[in-house]
């Protein structure tokens, strides 16, 4: 009889033990309930157990694992809370014309967050050429992808990330400025002057209570007397010149790649520049196979008007470095270090999986 009882107890014991493990590690969202249930299970185990030393060891193990789960969960919650506090929990963020006590305009900063939600856009330049590339994200399988690269003039192109509607309006403005200059002076508008016009326009929206900042970041590439230039225009009204830059979601991976290579871009040939752009796009895809349908690439240069590269040209470049899709991690060209950087990126971007779709979410709202 005692033997039967013992074996029965053991069965119960292991059952609750496994249940406990399951609850601990697989139902992470309901930690609160989880603690209660694990405590309950532990109590039951104790009740049904017959072998005290084994039980006590296992109980100890359980307690430790529970505590670590709790701690990590708390830490994550704290982080989320911090982010939440930064984003939502303050009273100075209702108006763009309200300063915070620490000297920040929160609405402008939130507008820059909108840029980070858009799908990635990448630009790089050599002395004579500028390449703009972007990831094609479609709202659904049925729809076509959003246009993120626009021709402003034969010698200026722009890639956008963020609220694409705002981007479209600003591209129209740029085209208008460019063509007015061409008409009056019969000469192309220097890109440096165009970005200043753009930045001034964006600044106006940060200083009127009845306006809101543009929620789009613009990578403007173009020519002027001194050669090719690449600029980044923020919703805040700032603009910076870059040798290479990436904006949008998961752009950190691309930026890391570009940071390693940018010193050689100045003297790059046109083909190398295109290859670097496509490689940078691949970094933002993070493991997804790179196909020519997933990216759009455009180029302009001193003796080359702005135009898009067609699918075959892009596919040819992809084929030079991606012979078999699974092998690309081992390829000499791929930077293995990107894997860690890429993994760290989603946490930074606040959710990589859903971010790509944010590009179209504002339209749905």
Q: What is the binding site for another protein (CB under 8 A)?
A: 183-187, 190, 192-193, 196, 224-226
CA dihedral for 167, 171, 177, 180, sign (positive or negative): negative
Dist. CA 159–CA 147, nearest whole Å: 9
Q: How far is the CB of 173 from another protein (least distance, A)?
A: 19
Dist. CA 345–CA 341, nearest whole Å: 6
Q: How far is the CB of 183 from another protein (least distance, A)?
A: 8
Choose between 50 and 182: whose C-beta lies nearer to another protein: 182
Owner of token pair 């940078």:
280
**SS3 of residue 239 by DSSP:** strand
Task: State the virtual CA torsion across 234, 209, 164, 270 in degrees, nearest 10.
Answer: -20
Q: How far is the CB of 268 from another protein (least distance, A)?
A: 22
Residues 6 or more apart whose Cβ sits within 8 Å of residue 70 = 31, 35
Choose between 221 and 235: whose C-beta lies nearer to another protein: 221
Choose between 48 and 232: whose C-beta lies nearer to another protein: 232
Choose between 227 and 346: whose C-beta lies nearer to another protein: 227
Parallel, antiparallel or unpaired: strands 149-153 and 129-135:
unpaired
Q: How far is the CB of 187 from another protein (least distance, A)?
A: 5
Choose between 192 and 350: whose C-beta lies nearer to another protein: 192
Task: State the virtual CA torsion across 223, 228, 234, 235 in degrees, nearest 10.
Answer: 10
**SS3 of residue 131 by DSSP:** strand
Choose between 182 and 243: whose C-beta lies nearer to another protein: 182
Dist. CA 84–CA 75, nearest whole Å: 14
Q: How far is the CB of 196 from another protein (least distance, A)?
A: 8
Q: How far is the CB of 191 from another protein (least distance, A)?
A: 10
Choose between 76 and 193: whose C-beta lies nearer to another protein: 193
Q: How far is the CB of 237 from another protein (least distance, A)?
A: 18
Q: Got the DSSP string for 298-353?
A: EEEETTEEEEEPPHHHHHHHHHHH-SSGGGGGTSSSS-TTHHHHHHHHHHHHT-HH
């Amino acid at each position: 009889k005692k033997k039967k009882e013992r074996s029965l107890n053991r069965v119960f014991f292991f059952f609750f033990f496994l249940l406990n493990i399951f609850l601990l590690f697989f139902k992470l969202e309901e930690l609160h309930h989880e603690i209660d249930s694990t405590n309950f299970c532990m109590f039951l185990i104790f009740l049904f157990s017959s072998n005290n030393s084994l039980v006590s060891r296992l109980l100890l193990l359980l307690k430790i694992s529970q505590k670590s789960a709790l701690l990590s969960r708390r830490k994550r919650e704290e982080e989320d809370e911090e982010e939440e506090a930064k984003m939502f929990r303050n009273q100075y963020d209702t108006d763009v014309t309200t300063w915070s006590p620490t000297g920040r305009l929160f609405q402008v900063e939130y507008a820059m967050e909108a840029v980070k939600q858009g799908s990635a856009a990448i630009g790089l330049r050599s002395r004579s050429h500028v390449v703009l590339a972007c990831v094609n994200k479609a709202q659904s399988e049925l729809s076509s992808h959003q246009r993120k690269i626009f021709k402003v003039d034969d010698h200026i192109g722009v890639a956008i990330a963020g609220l694409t509607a705002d981007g479209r309006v600003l591209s129209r403005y740029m085209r208008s400025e460019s063509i007015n200059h061409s008409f009056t002076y019969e000469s192309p508008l220097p890109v440096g002057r165009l970005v200043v016009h753009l930045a001034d326009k964006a600044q106006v929206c940060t200083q009127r209570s009845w306006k809101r900042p543009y929620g789009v970041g613009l990578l403007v590439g173009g020519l002027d007397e001194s050669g090719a230039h690449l600029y980044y225009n923020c919703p805040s009204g700032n603009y910076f010149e870059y040798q290479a830059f990436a904006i949008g979601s998961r752009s950190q991976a691309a930026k890391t790649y570009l940071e390693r290579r940018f010193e050689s871009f100045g003297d790059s040939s046109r083909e190398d520049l295109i290859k670097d752009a496509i490689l940078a796009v691949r970094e933002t895809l993070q493991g997804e196979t790179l196909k020519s349908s997933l990216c759009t690439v455009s180029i302009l240069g001193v003796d080359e008007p702005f135009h898009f590269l067609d699918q075959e040209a892009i596919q040819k470049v992809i084929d030079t470095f991606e012979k078999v899709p699974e092998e690309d991690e081992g390829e000499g060209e791929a930077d293995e270090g990107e894997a860690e950087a890429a993994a760290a990126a989603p946490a930074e971007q606040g959710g990589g999986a859903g971010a790509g779709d944010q590009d179209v979410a504002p339209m749905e709202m």
